[in-house]
Amino acid sequence: MYIKGVGMTKFGVSDKLSHQLAHEAALEALQDADLKFAQIDAIVCSSIEWFFSIEKQRHFASMLASVFSTNKPIIRVPAACGSSGAGFWFAQQQEFDHVLVIGAEKLMTCKTESITEEFMMAAESKWEQDEGLNFPAQNALIAQEYMSAYPQSTTEHLAKIALKNHDNAFLNPKARFYQKKVTLEQIRDSPMVCSPLRMFDCSVSVDGAAAAVLSKDKTDIRVAGSDLCTDYISPFERDSNTSWDATVEAAKNAYAMAGIEPCDVDVAELHDAFTIVELIASEDLGFAKKGHACNAIDDGAFCLDGKLPINPSGGLKAKGHPISATGLAQIYELTKQLRGEAGDRQVANPKTALAQNIGGAGGTVSVHVLRKV
C-alpha cells in the first residue's frame, strides 16, 4: 500500500482530550491526502484507557464515531507503546482502498502517584508488576546485561544518543523540546533513575496524536515492507536481552518484502524509549555489527549529517513519547523526510526509510520500510 497523507499534532502539554487530538491529526492527514472523510473505508485507531486520568475511555472507537458522525468500521488496536505501529501494520493487511490510521494519547492529566502503576500494566503481572520491576528498572537491567557483554559500550555512548536526539528535536517545531538546548554535561550530570540510566536516558511523556492515510492509490511513498512480531512479555523469560528477537524477526521479514538490505536504509526512526533501546535496535536492524553500535555512535554515523541519520525527529527521547501516537509519529516524520519536507532537520535526499516501534520491553515490535517511488 501507499501513504497518501500524514498528520500530527504538536507534542507537549495540550488542553485537548485524546479524541480531540486524534481528530486534529486525522483532519491534517485527510487534508494532506486530499480526501474527504466520506472516502475513507475504515479507521484503525490506538489509545490507552487511563484509569487515573480526567478521561477514562475504553470505547475509543465509538468516541471517534461520535467525533466523525459516522457508522464506518472503526477498530482499536492497542499494543502498549507499540500501538500505532501495530495499527499501521494491521491496516495494511486489509482489503480496503483507503484506511485512516490514528494514534492518540493524553498522558499529562494522569495523576503522578499512579502513572507508574498504570504504565506497569504493560508488564507481566506477577513477577514484574508485583515485584516493582518498572520499565526504567527493566531497561536498566538490559543496559547492564548489554554493557557486561560488550564492555566497549559505556554510558558515554548512551549520553551521545540522548544528545543527538535532543539536537534533532531542537530543529523540529512539533517536538516537545523544540529549540530547547541540551548539553552533554547536562545529560551526564542528570539524576540517576536506575543505574546506569539517568534522567536524560529516558524518553519524555507528552500529549499528542498522529495519523496516516494508507491507500491502494499509487502515491510518492510506498510501504515496501512491513512486519509485526511478538516475544515473551518478560525479558527474564528470554535467553538474552542484548538482542531483541521480535525486532530481528520483524526486520528480516520487512527487508525481504522490500527487497533491500540494512545498508540501503537512508533514514530511520527507532523506538528510543530509553537510550539503550535505540542502541540495541540499531544493531538488531543491521545498522551496526553486534556490540559495535558504539563505534558508529563515536563516528557520528547516526547524526543528522551522518551516514544513516537515526531519529531526525528527536525521537521518543526529545520529540516526545505519547504512547499510542508514537508509531504513527515515526511514519509522519519519515514521510516528510522522503518528500523533502522536513525543514531544518531534512536528511540529504533519502530514498528508503525505516520505522521501528516497540510495545513493552520488546514484547511487540513492528518494522516498516517506506520507499520513495
For a copy of itself, which residue of 1, 22, 102, 123 counts as binding (CB under 8 A)?
123
* Closest separation in Å from C-beta 91 to a copy of itself: 10
Instruction: Return the half-sphere exposure (C-beta side, CA atoms, 13 A cut-off) of residue 64.
Output: 29
Distances (CA, A) of 177 to 141, 151, 162, 200, 233: 28, 32, 12, 12, 31
184 CB contacts (<8 Å, ≥6 apart)? 159, 160, 163
Task: Report the residue from 13, 27, 39, 75 that binds a copy of itself according to the rule CB under 8 A.
Answer: 75
Q: Out of 237, 298, 299, 344, which residue is the one contacting a copy of itself (CB under 8 A)?
A: 237
Q: Which three cell numbers stand for residue 69?
A: 458522525
Dig out the grid coordinates for 30 from the structure. 485527510
Q: Cell numbers for 121, please give them.
A: 500494566
Q: Does 122 bind a copy of itself (CB under 8 A)?
A: yes
Residues 249-278 that bind a copy of itself (CB under 8 A): 249
Provide the 8-state DSSP code for 109.
T
Positive or negative CA dihedral for 30, 28, 104, 363?
positive
- The single residue of 98, 157, 271, 321 carrying the catalytic annotation is 321
* Cβ closest to a copy of itself, residue 247 vs residue 311: 247
How many chain residues are in contact with a copy of itself, going by CB under 8 A?
A: 59
CB of 72 to a copy of itself, least distance (A): 6
Report d(CA 352, CA 316) in Å as an integer.
21
| Class of residue 317 by CB neighbours under 10 A (exposed 0-12, middle 13-18, buried 19+) | buried
- Contacting a copy of itself (CB under 8 A), which of 71, 112, 113, 261? 71
Active site includes 321?
yes
Q: Select from 23-31, 56-64, 148-156, 210-218 the region that touches a copy of itself (CB under 8 A).
A: 56-64
Q: Which three cell numbers stand for residue 27?
A: 483532519
Shortest gap between Cβ of 110 and a copy of itself (angstroms)? 12
Could you tell me which stretch among 28-36, 78-86, 175-183, 191-199 binds a copy of itself (CB under 8 A)? 78-86
The C-alpha cell that represents 314 in the structure block = 528527536
Question: Minimum Å distance from CB 287 to a copy of itself?
Answer: 21
Determine how many CB atoms are found less than 10 A away from the CB of residue 121. 12
- Name 198's bridge partners: 192
Contact with a copy of itself (CB under 8 A): which of 360, 367, 371, 372?
360
246 binds a copy of itself (CB under 8 A): yes
Residue 156 touches a copy of itself, criterion: CB under 8 A? no
Give burial (CB, 10 Å; 0-12/13-18/19+) of 145: middle
**CA 151/CA 291 separation, integer angstroms:** 9
* Separation CA 196–CA 234 (nearest Å): 20
Q: For residue 222, with 0-12 CB atoms within 10 Å meaning exposed, 13-18 middle and 19 or more buried, which class applies?
A: middle
CB nearer to a copy of itself: give 246 or 347.
246
Nearest distance from C-beta of residue 96 to a copy of itself, angstroms: 8
Q: What share of the chain is helix, strand, coil (3-state, %, to 5)?
A: 40, 20, 40
- Give the integer Cα–Cα distance in Å for 238 and 370: 30
Question: In the structure grid, which three cell numbers stand for residue 178, read together?
Answer: 523544540
Q: How far is the CB of 327 from a copy of itself (least distance, A)?
A: 13
Q: Which residue, 111 or 180, has its beta carbon nearer to a copy of itself? A: 111
Among 37, 150, 178, 232, binds a copy of itself (CB under 8 A): 232
Rule CB under 8 A: say whether 219 interacts with a copy of itself. no
Rounded least distance, CB 14 to a copy of itself, Å: 16
Can you tell me which of 24, 32, 124, 272 binds a copy of itself, judged by CB under 8 A?
124
Q: Which of 19, 23, 45, 81 is catalytic?
A: 81
Nearer to a copy of itself, 46 or 153 (CB): 46
Distance CA 233, CA 125 (A): 10
Task: Kindly list the residues in this chain that would bind a copy of itself in the complex (CB under 8 A).
Answer: 17, 48-49, 51, 54-59, 61-66, 69-80, 86, 89-90, 93-96, 118, 120-125, 129, 227-234, 237, 245-246, 249, 359-360, 363-364
By annotation, the residues acting in catalysis are 81, 321
